[in-house]
Amino acid sequence: MKEVTVIIPYLRDHLIEGCVKAAIKNAGIPCDQFQVIAKRSDTLSHGLPEREDNILRIVEAVNRIIEGSESRCVLSICDDQIPQPGYLKYALEAMETLPGGWGAVYCTDPDGLMGPVLIDRRMITEFLNGYFLHPGYTHCCSDLELYERLTASGRFVKAPKSVIVHNCCFADNTIEKDWVHERSYDPVRRATDHVLLNKRRAQEWGKYPDRKPVPKICIGLPTSGITKTDTTGCLMDLAVAIKEKYGSYKKIIACGTVEQARNLIVDEFLKTDCTHLLFVDWDATFPEKSGEVLENADKPIIGCNAAKKRSGDPVVERNIEGEPLNYIKHDIEQTDFVGMHVTMIQREVFGKMPWPWFEQTVIKEKRVVVGEDLSFCRKAHKVYESEVWVHNRLSMEVGHIAEEVKTLIPHIKKQIEDTKKDVYINELRKLKEGLK
């Protein structure tokens, strides 16, 4: 994985070549530590005046590229900017001076404008509500908001030696005279931008209409060294679906006893910037949409109910109220625990709990060994107040590979038949009462 991704969204073909060449040549760090992505801002027009329309298209392109990037840091520059020698080297050196060695660094613009920003992607998740540049602005305030919020974060520093200058040439190579001062500003749209900026500032940014950070899903596969062929096929489809939906994914495989493997996976997961860990067992079958469906439920711990290998009975039978799970009426239901067969856990859950997260529990007086998944859920729910949920609808499409693939379909069919009988009996009772 590259340390830095340099992003160059562009609209002007006559400028991009010089910008890209300078970005590569003048980085000042080994070429295997960074990559340069130049992408035309080719999103559809928003029907605004040309300048405003171009700004919004660039903002959208930058945010989209950052979401799909897997590097630790990103630096966005415009097609009319020329990075000077050592610009990345000096910016990274400045970042090392911040607490923990991560945050945001402003490069220097000799023209006195706000320079490009080198930013650790954790800043986008933890301080910027998932946006690098907020797309609500159509004129001039997206960079003003960015500067203000980064300054307030306490993880911001300027890098005087990291210089990126403007290339002020037209397509015919003539110089743009007094280009900084003669830009055409639409006073109405400029005022609208400042109204939005003041409103968002007054509402502490994230409380004003915004979106949650883009989820980043890590797939965790605990195994003893064997993975079923059908499971491997499901994993490949799952990875493709997650990457198409969210732009990227990570996968961690760990061997050992099941509790050892799960703890190793969580250890590695917490070293990434991923927001969700999706556990998948080595003998599970599941649809490719599983990651998206579980993430959309937005619960701290949510998993699929699985059929037991021998009996075919469901692992989880009752909800938190003690009632049987109802696959007909409820897509999801809260429970006391869920197996880790196909289960998604939000990052914050592990932050509340000490290591080891997964361990078998021995109840001596009952001569019982409680599995690592049940112990984890009980501890997360009762001690650390993290809700546990079962996704009934997705559970219908999940299998448990034994001699054959065990599913919950027979159990659900019986529930449907029992429901029909109950409805019939109730209707018959009402009819008899009416005849009286």
Query: 191 in a domain, yes or no?
Result: yes
Distance CA 420, CA 372 (A): 38
Per-residue exposure over 214-238, b if at least 16 CB sit within 10 Å of its own CB, e if not = bbbbbbbbbbeeebbeebeebbeeb
Domain identity same for 85 and 196: yes
What's residue 344's pLDDT?
96
pLDDT tens per residue, range 225-258: 888 888 899 999 999 999 888 878 899 998 888 8
Dihedral sign for Cα 14, 19, 25, 31, please: negative
What residue numbers bound the domain in which 245 lies? 217-420
Domain identity same for 221 and 355: yes
Question: What single-letter amino acid sits at 94?
Answer: A
Q: Which residue in 248, 253, 257, 275 sits closest to 265, CA to CA?
A: 253
Query: DSSP H helical segments within 26-134, as ranges?
Result: 50-68, 87-95, 121-127
Sheet holding 405-406, edge to edge: 284-285, 399-401, 405-406
What's residue 197's pLDDT?
81
Domain identity same for 243 and 353: yes
What's residue 26's pLDDT?
94
Whether residue 272 contacts residue 218, with contact meaning beta carbons closer than 8 Å, is answered with yes
Whether residue 231 contacts residue 285, with contact meaning beta carbons closer than 8 Å, is answered with yes
Domain identity same for 180 and 232: no
What's residue 52's pLDDT?
60
Query: 428 in a domain, yes or no?
Result: no
Domain identity same for 374 and 335: yes
Domain identity same for 364 and 293: yes
Domain identity same for 315 and 245: yes
Query: 209 in a domain, yes or no?
Result: no
- Hey, what are 354's tokens? 């000490």
- Other C-beta atoms closer than 10 Å to the C-beta of 104 total 26
What's residue 92's pLDDT?
94
Question: What's 10's domain CATH number?
Answer: 3.90.550.10
**Spans in the chain with pLDDT lower than 50:** 44-46, 169-183, 207-211
